[in-house]
Structure 1
Amino acid sequence: MQPRQREGEKWAEQIKKERQFEELEHLFSKAKRAQENVLHLFHEAWQGNRSQQRLGLVEDIMTEEWQQRKKQLYAMDEVLQEARRAHRQEAFAAKGAGTDATD
């Protein structure tokens, strides 16, 4: 396989990963809005002191789940950024090797 073809495939894979990451960000935003909507509807359905207690419990659980998902999202972002850095370093090294070979 030629170096340019491999580089093209790496870029295609990187773009695919970035699109998946953007899709995840979009889904997390939708999930956060849905969470807020559920909490609002729950509050309207249960009035009084017990509703406040239950609402607080539901909110705590949903917030904890949201934070876990957010950590996963950040971890995935770090992996993508590291892959970008590695690709840039490889491209720079390849350019340097090509320049040295022509001297």
Structure 2
Amino acid sequence: MQPRQREEEIWEEQIKKERQFEELERLFAKTKRAQEHVLHLFQDAWQGNRSQQRLGLIEETMTEEWQKRKKQMYAVDDTLKESRRAHQRAQFASRGAKTHAKD
């Protein structure tokens, strides 16, 4: 083999390796973008699921709080009703005592 021909073969081999390397870099970049896309989709799905879970927890907490407040309101309402009845009984008793006193 002549030195010039050997040198050309070495350059051709070098160019071939560089093209393969460039192709690998391109494929690597494409794979990296695909991986980032998958991770982004996974993150969106996870956050979506997580946000749904959070909304569910918030809704559950709000329902529990509403039930507690409702029970408190009923208890206060019952107390007020009983207080009104006691006041009416007292008024009726005092009216009855006044009419009995006049008789």
**Superposition TM-score, scaled by structure 1 size:** 0.52
Structure 1 unaligned segments of length 5 or more: list them.
1-46
- Which has more radius of gyration? 2
Q: CA deviation at 1:49?
A: 2.2
The answer to which structure, 1 or 2, has the higher relative contact order (CA under 8 A, 6+ apart) is 1
Listed one character per residue, the Cα deviations across residues 22-78 of structure 1 (whole Å, up to 9, x for unaligned) are xxxxxxxxxxxxxxxxxxxxxxxxx72221111001110111011111111110110
- Code of the residue aligned with 2:57 in structure 1: it is L
Corresponding residue of 1:35: none
Structure 2: distance between partners of 1:54 and 1:85: 46
Listed one character per residue, the Cα deviations across residues 79-98 of structure 1 (whole Å, up to 9, x for unaligned) are 00000000001100110110
Corresponding residue of 1:70: 70
Aligned length: 57
Structure 2: distance between partners of 1:92 and 1:58: 50
Structure 2 unaligned segments of length 5 or more: list them.
1-46
Say what the alpha-carbon RMSD is for the aligned residues.
1.2
Percent identical pairs in the alignment equals: 67
- Code of the residue aligned with 1:83 in structure 2: it is S
- Code of the residue aligned with 1:62 in structure 2: it is M
Corresponding residue of 1:19: none
After superposing on structure 2, the runs of 4+ consecutive aligned residues of structure 1 that deviate more than 4 Å are none
SS of corresponding position for 1:48: helix
Stretch moving more, 79-88 or 57-66: 57-66
